Amino acid sequence: MTGQESRRFALVRYARPMMQNDRTHWAVKAGETADWRFYFKILAKEAKIPHLERVRIEVNHYRTRGRWPDVAGCAPAAKAAIDGIVDAGVLDDDDPTHVLDVTYNVLQMPPSWKKPGLASALQIVIVEVPTEIKET
């Protein structure tokens, strides 16, 4: 490692994410996908995240109650969120040359995030990979 610190940017949507096992009509799913994509595009622009060449992405699905979902169950929402981040100009694309990996976690929601009626939140953490670091 060169000693260069990796920059981290976190974006959060306080809502139940679309889930892999949802059984919704394709038109409803398309609308939800567009909504998640647009929401994260706006979040990324408001956060003024600079253009990044290579990143690792952490997807954190926070829960307050209920049955624990599959770890990557929120992949449809995460994919739409990442597409929104690309739309915002943070990344040129979400292909493997720009997004080295995506990891998923299901976590207990932090007490400071809890609000009445809120059972879920999706956090996308973008971790810059310095270009001097060569992947093996």
User: Which pLDDT score, from 0 to 100, does residue 21 have?
Assistant: 74
Sign of CA dihedral 27, 30, 34, 39: positive
Q: Helix, strand, or coil here: 125?
A: strand
DSSP state of 112: G
Residue 136: what pLDDT?
55
Q: In Å, how far from its chain's centre is CA 126?
A: 8
Q: Using only the alpha carbons of the chain, give its radius of gyration.
A: 15
For residue 28, name the pLDDT band (cuts at 50, 70, 90). confident
**What is the residue extent of each domain of the chain?**
8-128
**Residue 73: per-residue pLDDT:** 87
Look-up: residue for tokens 């981290």? 8
Least confident of 87-96, 112-121, 126-135: 126-135
Whether 2 has a pLDDT exceeding 80, the answer reads no
Q: How far from 74 is each of 92, 120, 121, 126, 133, CA to CA, in Å?
A: 23, 11, 10, 17, 30
117 CB-near residues (< 8 Å, 6+ apart):
none
User: Number of helices (H) and strands (E), helices first, in the chain?
Assistant: 2, 4
Average pLDDT over the chain, rounded to whole? Answer: 89
Q: Which helix (H) or strand (E) holds 107?
A: strand 99-108
The CA-CA-CA angle for residues 111, 44, 19, to 5°, reads 60
- CATH superfamily of domain region 8-128: Holliday junction resolvase RusA (3.30.1330.70)
Q: Give yes or no for a contact between 124 and 85, defined as CB atoms under 8 angstroms apart.
A: yes
Among 13-17, 83-87, 110-114, 131-135, the minimum mean pLDDT is found in: 131-135
Q: Above 50 in pLDDT, residue 69?
A: yes
pTM of the predicted model, to two decimals?
A: 0.88
Amino acid 95: pLDDT: 97
Confidence of residue 3 (pLDDT cuts 50, 70, 90): low
